[in-house]
Amino acid sequence: MTVDIQRTDSADCIRLETANPDCAMIWLHGLGATNEDFVPVFKRIVSSLSLNCVGLFPQAPTRPVTFSGGMSMPCWYDILGANPKRIINEDDLQAAAAGVHHLLQSLLDEGIAPQRIFIAGFSQGGAVAYESAMSYNGTLAGLITLSTYIGRPMTPANTALPVFCAHGTQDDVVPIALGEAALNDLQTMGLTPEWKTYPMQHEVCLPEIADISDFVARQLGQ
């Protein structure tokens, strides 16, 4: 089914919305990418489920990345090293999460219930999604993390948070071992994440999007 989706662009965020939205998704892109990346994924999910939904796609600031020789690129936080575990600037990570919380509050101010809001992210954006959702002291519809890792040790504010984690078995950018470590950490924290793998590299595939759509539908009671 085709759903009419309107688009509004600001300097640092894309907003997509259908008529009469009653749920929302915040999508966080990866290192060196732009906020356009997950617009098609959002549209596919919304259309497949016939959702009345808002999508927010913030753009990471451009700054030097230490691990990349100081090259400037869009990034949510500085990466200082990898072995393969990422060594990151945790202050940057927490600042990025604070920005997500600001977007979340804007959705709440519009009247969208928190239990109908998803936070999603890919790669570096996934680490920000982990930080944002697990530090939010409330009930969210769910957390969606793709090809990523947990940026820093933390205690989740809500262990009832529904989590969908996915990773490519051939990922040579963020090795699947980092995703598996995040999965183990979540379970140790008392969460019960869903875990999916796909025969792909550092990317997103159609079966993965279908599984995300299924997760979203279940959390919204469809």
Nearest of 77, 42, 41 to residue 60 by alpha carbon: 77
Catalytic positions, written as ranges: 123, 171, 202
Distance (Å, whole) CA 186 – CA 128: 15
Q: Could you tell me where the beta strands, DSSP code E, fall in the chain?
A: 6-9, 13-17, 23-28, 53-58, 62-65, 71-74, 79-82, 86-88, 117-122, 142-146, 163-168, 194-198
User: In which residue are the tokens 């089914």 written?
Assistant: 1
User: In which residue are the tokens 């793709």 written?
Assistant: 146
